[in-house]
A and B are shown apart, each in its own frame.
Chain A
Amino acid sequence: MRRIGLPDVIGPISDRWSRLPTPARYVVYVIAIVAAFALPADSIGSFMSPQSDWSAILFYPIGVYILLAIGLNVVVGQAGLLDLGYVAFFAIGGYTMGKIGLSLKWDFWVILPCGIAAAAVAGVILGAPTLRLRGDYLAIVTLGFGEIIRITANNLNFTGGPRGLSGIPNPPSVGSFSALQFNVATTKPFYYLVLVMIILAIVLVKRLERSRVGRAWAAIREDEDAAEVMGVPTFRFKLWAFAIGACIGGAAGVLFAAQTISITPEDFPFLLSSYIVVAVVLGGSGNLAGVILGAFLVAWLPERFRGFADYRVLAFGGALVLMMIVRPEGLLPSRRRRAELAEGTGGMGSLGGGVGGAQTQAVRIEAVETDAVQTGAVESEAAP
């Protein structure tokens, strides 16, 4: 008897969703966006976050984590590359905002593209030498890169050393709308700002996913060698994934620095990179709805349940191991990712080919002992 799991519930829903006519889908999008704008309401906040200011939490960590997770999803979920130093791009965005905002007194809106560009350049500089390597090397190199950025920021006077930068200007207020007054006392405007950025990022990523670039990423993720043979310039597309992921991380960093006013190297620890990885993997890498859900849970659970905050790393760590064993595709997987992970593709190749020996071994011994019909089934499973 088959156990009824989450996919059985989600499958029909996503089927119906994809059959929905385009105008109907847009209606749902609009409702979702309106709901998102209504989210900071006090009545929701009193339930979601009784202990602290709900709209402040909605901006950081929830909004920023979601934005970062959408960016990292391009790298991990779409191109199948594990980036363990994603926080570096967030930091570069943050320090660009801080440094330019303080010294040149430019506007937030002018610095935003600068921060995005700086992060993209960093992404290319990091990616160019390392993306030719095996995927697991990439993970460690990116981890090292994240640490290099943090330690460098900590060591240089230019970035304010361990004390970081403070007095970073807020974005300029627009007119006299209360929703667009950006200063230390306001929290909702920043949430709206991050929400707009999240929506833009979603549109961008969705468009990319359905483009030639998105198809190339999927091909690379599933089998890099095959993609290369079929004429996909894998290196170039991997670099694109890296740069686009970096852009979104950089944008999040600029926004973060403009809101918190002061940043220190301690705001950009390795742990933050790993929270975002957890968010992407937990939610369902490759599927935007899943990734957003994952980021929301990772950000919100420790804020809502303070007792949980002490145990969050323990819980996340355990959850990662458990997820990889039980449900590697995440809570809300995309169907394609699910199929890939079930057959051992879906990023950095399969453990099976080289190491499935043990499985093959067990199966072959079984095959000798069981009858011919089963042997046939077993062999087809054991075949690569």
Chain B
Amino acid sequence: MHAFVTQFWPSTIDGLTIGSIYGLIALGYTLVYGVLRLINFAHSEVFMVGTFASLFTLHGLGITHAETGFALVGVLILMGLAGMAGSGITAVVLERVAYRPLRKRGSSRLAALISAIGASFFLQEVFALRYGRDLLSFPPLMNKTVLFHIGSGQVRADKVLVVVAALVMALALDRFVNGSRLGRGVRATAQDPDTAVLMGVNIDRIVMITFLVGGMMAGVAAMLYGNYFELTQYNVGFLLGIKAFTAAVLGGIGNIRGALLGGLTLGLIENYGGSVFGAQWKDVIAFTVLVLVLMVRPTGLLGEKLTRARA
């Protein structure tokens, strides 16, 4: 318990940082689940492709040392766009290849989940065979300057970037789903696909948009992850994917605000727990949270919003 007190502020800051990344990835799970009621098991690989796309952008730009000022902002934006493009395209292709044929045939959900697992392995192995199974490091792009202190915790620039970017993206997504015409289509499909069809919603297009937008959020998460940890690997998505899914369930799957809240909560629980039991138990804590949430409150903190009509 002593460690918990002394480590409180550093744990809080780290928890919010990693939690923001969980939250961004969780948005993809939540959107797809909301619309298709399908766990996109391969979403972790959508994220993984994003980290590689970000890494290749840095290589392509010939970054070898930390940048500052406008150069830094420009590179970050390019990196983010590359991540979004990589992840978004992967998600759309995934939907086309692994899900749509099953959806058209009205297959069982077991079949869809198995197809997703297959796609996940396939993507992982493509990258493992092409780029090896070792950790790949990012060139340092950003100086990890300490902006200010809260208690014993150091607030670093890269962590602030993660949290702020995640909040902005989640807000933008929330506006998109709740405010735009396409977003209305997404909500309509989530509530009742058959009626949505009768109302003239093109479901195939909505599903594609859902995957694309979810993938783009994972792409931003991938860029932030790369900038923060400066590492990636062919299986980087596996653990993050499960945790992000946990975050989505924790917040209430299908609920966009819930996904971010769930991510932040999970990040905090994991880090506080880690400071008490030791960092090697973090993953076990996260999985335990998943089991407990499903036992006690399977609808999550905020409830299943997108799917409320079809609970």
Contacts and interface: CB of A to CB of B under 8 A. Distances in A.
Interface of A: 76, 80, 82, 84, 129-130, 133, 135-137, 139-141, 143-145, 147-148, 151-152, 154-155, 270, 274, 277, 281, 310-311, 313-314, 316-325, 328, 340-341, 343-362, 364
A161 to B, nearest CB: 10
Given A141-B294, A325-B101, A357 B106 contact: no
Given A274-B121, A348-B109, A137 B103 contact: no
A317 B113 CA distance: 12
Given A135-B109, A314-B121, A324 B114 contact: yes
Contacts of B26: none
A361 B197 contact: yes
Interface in B81-126: 97-98, 101-115, 117-126
Given A82-B110, A314-B126, A321-B119, 4 more contacts: A317-B117, A324-B115, A341-B108, A358-B103
Contacts of A343: 106
B90 to A, nearest CB: 14
Contacts of A346: 108, 110-111
B102 A351 contact: yes
B111 A341 contact: yes
Nearest to B238: A270
Contacts of A148: 283-284, 287-288
Interface stretch (B151-159, B169-177, B188-196, B211-219): B188-196
B245 interface: yes
Contact of B196 (A135, A277, A357): A357
A351 B103 contact: yes
Contacts, number: 201
B122 A324 contact: no
25 contacts: A129-B295, A133-B294, A136-B38, A136-B39, A136-B113, A139-B41, A141-B290, A155-B278, A270-B238, A274-B121, A277-B114, A313-B121, A313-B125, A314-B121, A316-B118, A317-B124, A325-B101, A328-B107, A341-B111, A344-B108, A346-B111, A347-B111, A351-B36, A351-B102, A351-B103
Most A-side CB within 10 Å, residue of B37, B105, B114: B114
Interface of B: 36-39, 41, 97-98, 101-115, 117-126, 128-129, 189, 193-194, 196-197, 202-204, 207, 238, 242, 245-246, 249, 278, 280-281, 283-284, 287-288, 290-291, 294-295, 298, 310
B29 to A, nearest CB: 10
Contact of B284 (A84, A151, A320, A361): A151
A274 to B, nearest CB: 7
B96 to A, nearest CB: 11
Contact of A321 (B97, B105, B107, B110): B97
Nearest to B108: A346
Contacts of A353: 106
A143 B243 CA distance: 11
Nearest to B310: A354
A356 B36 CA distance: 10
A145 B120 CA distance: 19
A347 B242 contact: no
B39 A140 contact: yes
Contacts of B103: 351, 355-356, 358-359
Nearest to B243: A144
B118 A144 contact: no
Contacts of B117: 84, 274, 277, 317, 320
A351 B242 contact: no
A344 B106 contact: yes
A203 B98 CA distance: 37
A189 to B, nearest CB: 35
B293 to A, nearest CB: 10
A321 B123 CA distance: 12
Contacts of A141: 290-291, 294
B106 A321 contact: no
Contacts of A318: 118, 122
A358 B204 contact: yes
A139 B238 CA distance: 14
A355 B37 contact: yes
A364 B203 CA distance: 13
Given A141-B290, A311-B129, A341-B108, A317 B204 contact: no
A319 B117 CA distance: 11
B284 A152 contact: yes
Contact of A320 (B118, B246, B288): B118
A81 to B, nearest CB: 9
A310 B196 contact: no
A135 B41 CA distance: 13
Contact of B291 (A80, A129, A322): A129
Contacts of B202: 361
Nearest to B207: A358
B57 to A, nearest CB: 26
Contacts of A80: 110
Nearest to A354: B37
A154 B284 CA distance: 11
A35 to B, nearest CB: 32
A357 to B, nearest CB: 3
A84 B118 CA distance: 13
Contacts of B196: 357
Contacts of A151: 280-281, 283-284
A355 B109 CA distance: 11
A364 B106 CA distance: 16
A321 B115 contact: yes
A318 B117 CA distance: 10
A317 B125 contact: yes
A142 B10 CA distance: 32
B114 A147 contact: no
Given A135-B110, A328-B111, A314 B129 contact: yes
A358 B194 CA distance: 9
